[in-house]
Amino acid sequence: THHKEEITTLLAQVTDLQKKIRKLTTENMDIQEKLTLSSESQRKLTKDLGCMQDKYDELLEMLEEAQEELRIMRGKNKVR
């Protein structure tokens, strides 16, 4: 009977461990999915940031050109 109790206890432990493994496997899959989505979002945001930086650089260059043209125009008006 002692062996039967020990076997019953061990079987219960195995069953509990199997439940924990299933639960942790499911949690792991969920976390992996979230990580994949986060990585995709990060890649997109990094790409978007690069595009925004390019647009910013282009607009800054246009602003500097416009300011230079304005200085030239003001200089011409002072000469008159």
Give the predicted TM-score (pTM) of the model: 0.64
33-67 pLDDT, tens digit per residue, is 999 999 999 999 999 999 999 999 999 999 999 99
- Tell me which amino acid residue 27 is: E
Tens digit of pLDDT for each residue in 7-29? 999 999 999 999 999 999 999 99
By the 10 Å C-beta count (0-12 exposed, 13-18 middle, 19+ buried), 68 is classed as exposed
